[in-house]
Amino acid sequence: MMLSRVAETIYWMARYVERAENTARIIMVNANLILDLPKGIAPGWDPILAITGSSDLFDEHYAETNERNVVKFLISDKFNPGSIVNSLVTARENLRTTRAIVPRGTWEVLNDLHYYVEDNKAKGTSRKGRFDYLTHIIRSCQLITGNINDTMSHDQTYEFVRLGRNLERADMTTRVLEVRAGNLLPKLANELKPFDDIQWKSILESLAAYQMYRRHVHVRVRGSAVMSYLLKDKQFPRSIVHCMSEVNNCLRSLPANEASLRTLGRVQRLVYEVNVKDMKRPELNEFVNNLQIVLGDVHDQLLQTYFQTERMKEKLPDSSETIGDKADAAA
């Protein structure tokens, strides 16, 4: 038997570690994309704010959407609860309260990473030091994930780590597709744009998917193939189908899973039934909006079933709101 407070804390810890890694990667990829594309075609920094869902909050604190302001906002701004620094502060605080059930090495890596991002945030916002700073974050987050996978008992506590990680991954995949792919898809049939291949490649790189795409998809980088891979590939860890398969396996190891599995089935049907061939921008927007709504329903069902209801107190007692929940609500 485990406390629902512990389950919720572990769930949010995993989400925030994954969020920090994802944010670091999209900043790095966008900076490289701007260098690769000619002026007038490069997307600028607005899409990164749209992907993270923080455009309105950014506008409240900054007058100009330029590289310096956006990078600072996403890395270290104290007013942005989803910044890398704040995400890792929240993840660390959640893990600090549950250190007894998580491998010691996991705590040590996350604690070191927390101090690194705080002490070196000026380096992260400069062009000269940004690559090393973001690379360190990505690798440390992956080390945390690997440490948990390899040294933590695969019990119910571990299943809540996997639930948080895979829902966060799926959320980021949908956000990248909505913003970046939506801007590339033609409004009219046979409409072509220059440098599309570079931009589709950047979408794959934003999700650490480019090398595996080239290995398993034997066609050049193009819109429908990229979307199909990121939505439906069963073997790539950040595809929607793979993430939802992981969530399904986790839920089947937990009690009182009926409602959550039914909600998850709606996500899986949406993805399996969508036809990405010749998809246009309005169709993609509608599909992704529906997918994000149902992913949100899965998250809400987890909160209701395992963290907030009287029903689970016998199995998961002592439910309470965690720091991660408060921070996510503020976002």
> Is position 32 within any domain?
yes
**What's the structural domain count of the chain?**
1
What is the Cα–Cα distance from 226 to 328, expressed in whole angstroms? 30
User: Does 186 reside within a domain?
Assistant: no
Asked whether residue 292 is assigned to any structural domain, the reply reads yes
C-beta of residue 91 within 8 angstroms of C-beta of residue 13? yes
Assess if residue 172 is contained within a domain.
yes
CA-CA distance, 104 to 237, in Å (whole number)? 26
Taking only the tens place, the pLDDT of each residue in 51-96 is 999 999 999 999 999 999 999 999 999 999 999 999 999 999 999 9
Q: What is the DSSP letter of 154?
A: -
Q: Does 202 fall in a domain?
A: yes
Range(s) of the domain holding residue 235 = 4-178+193-324
Backbone region of residue 208 per phi and psi (left: phi > 0; alpha: psi in -120 to 50; beta: other values) = left
Q: What is the pTM of this model?
A: 0.90
- The pLDDT tens digits of the residues spanning 180-237 come to 887 787 644 445 466 778 889 999 999 999 999 999 998 788 888 999 999 999 999 9
Q: Is 288 a domain residue?
A: yes
State the sign of the Cα–Cα–Cα–Cα dihedral 274, 279, 283, 285.
positive
